[in-house]
Amino acid sequence: MTTVHDTAVTTLAGDLSVWPASTAEPRPGDLAVGGVPLAEVADRFGTPVYVLDESEIRDRCRIYRDAFPDTEILYAAKAFLCRAMIHWMQEEGLGLDVCSAGELELAVTTGFPAERIVLHGNAKSPRDLESALRLGVGRIVIDSPSEIARLAAAVGPHGHQKVMVRVVPGISAGGHEKIRTGTEDQKFGLSISDGYAQHAIARILDQPQLELTGLHCHLGSQITSVKPYLAAVRRIVGLMARLHEQHGLLLPELDLGGGHGIAYRPGEQALDLTTLARKVRTELAEACAAAGLPVPRLIIEPGRAVAGPAGIALYRVLAVKRTGSHTYVAVDGGMSDNPRPALYGVRYAPRLVGRRTTADRAPVTVVGRHCEAGDVLATDVELPADVRPGDLLAVPVAGAYHLSMASGYNLVGRPPVAAVRDGHARLLVRRESLEDIRSRDVGL
């Protein structure tokens, strides 16, 4: 995608291309982000710790606004959410896409306008729907036929709620089979090909308290090609044309979801955001013209592409073990703070920071502290051959799906989140303590 790089990073080694644009090397072997040395962050807040470059996040929001000036941009909160992030999204003019009452209520109690929030979910609980209606959420995306009657009953005969329908266009896209959601035979959405989407839409039109504003689809995650989005536009506009013929319906909105791929390691491909915006607009205009339809307002939902590249995870090395032909570098975190390598086989590029070394680089596998053979953070990566206990490792592109997917495995406690900007670091989310864990355990 279009990036905010090419400033500080260009003066450094090429392997910093996936780091935040503010990354600098104030001293040999040390790295600073947002004007704050990473070693200083680790000393102040302990490790593991997530570091977020606030300016990088804000710059990425502005890139989206510039590329999609007439589009409603919703930040996908599932990637990472905290009160500061909610505040940044509001200031940068983005809406929010949430998946639960928890995400929704955190946003609204932080002061985010409920009408700029969209609620998703393939299986919304009664609490999810109750919170959405009580707080006045902007739209609810219907994901299954059973939600229609439940939602209509909850709204009541004199109420009103805007809704969208999540449709399945039958397109395979995404970086791993577990994150491809635009295909048939998976849990999300209603299929166009078998008629379930059309049937659900007809049922919604029979509920006067539900206002259908548009169609929604989400193809998957880590998509690096524009082509799947163009195919989705064509298929959804085709459905909109059939709905117009059958019901005289002109839908004003089309939500293409997110899934915009980013690079986790130098040299990896990322989705070109400028090309995506230009080609999607052209495809949408041409498809609507051919169908004799007005062009609906486009909605997109980036999450990872906003938060991911702005985050760094910092770990202390606990042990270095050489066994057979492998060298294992064990750190004080692992799959409890980043399950993605175990879930999806994601590969990262960790870097030694905080001290200068002239040692040659050697292949190692960075592993976590948890009691699982699959607790591996980075396989066969190159680190200085003199890496030793006490060293600090930094893992870039750690801003999305780390804390939000963190677990309580082995009761080690989830890491804190610190934000850096203009030479200052501040705590956003504190470390989960043993007392936090004990306080939830109420029975003997």
Using a 10 angstrom Cβ sphere, with 0-12 exposed, 13-18 middle and 19 or more buried, the burial of residue 405 is: middle
* pLDDT of amino acid 325: 85
Q: Please identify which of the residues 82, 217, 288, 371 carries the catalytic annotation.
A: 371
- Specify whether the CB–CB gap between 413 and 437 falls below 8 A: yes
Could you say which DSSP state residue 256 is in? -
DSSP per-residue string spanning 411-433: G--PPPEEEEETTEEEEEEPPPP
Same fold: 8-52+309-440 with 54-307: no
* Residue owning tokens 């029975």: 443
Predicted confidence at residue 189, as pLDDT, reads 81
pLDDT of 226 higher than 60: yes
Closest to 85 (Cα-Cα) out of 70, 107, 60: 107
Q: Which residues pair with 255 in a beta bridge?
A: 216, 299
Please give the pLDDT value at position 167.
94
Q: Are 305 and 258 in contact (CB under 8 A)?
A: yes
Q: Which fold has domain 8-52+309-440?
A: Lyase, Ornithine Decarboxylase; Chain A, domain 1 (2.40.37)
The correct CATH number of 54-307 out of 3.40.50.10860, 3.20.20.10, 3.30.200.20, 3.40.630.30 is 3.20.20.10
The answer to whether 258 touches 207, Cβ cutoff 8 Å, is: no
pLDDT for 131 beyond 90? yes
Residue in this structure with the two tokens 């059939």, named with its chain if needed: 242
Share of the chain above pLDDT 90, in %: 85
Sign of the CA dihedral 44, 49, 53, 54? Answer: negative
What whole-number distance in Å separates Cα of residue 386 and Cα of residue 215?
Answer: 55
Per-residue confidence band for 153, with pLDDT thresholds at 50, 70 and 90:
very high
Cβ-proximal residues to 134 (8 Å cutoff; 6+ apart), any chain: none
User: Domain residue spans in the chain?
Assistant: 8-52+309-440, 54-307
Q: Is 371 a catalytic residue?
A: yes
First to last CA, the chain: 53
Beta bridge partners of 362: 383
- Whether residue 185 has pLDDT greater than 90: no
Helix (H) or strand (E) holding 442: none
Instruction: Compute the average pLDDT of residues 154-174.
Output: 88
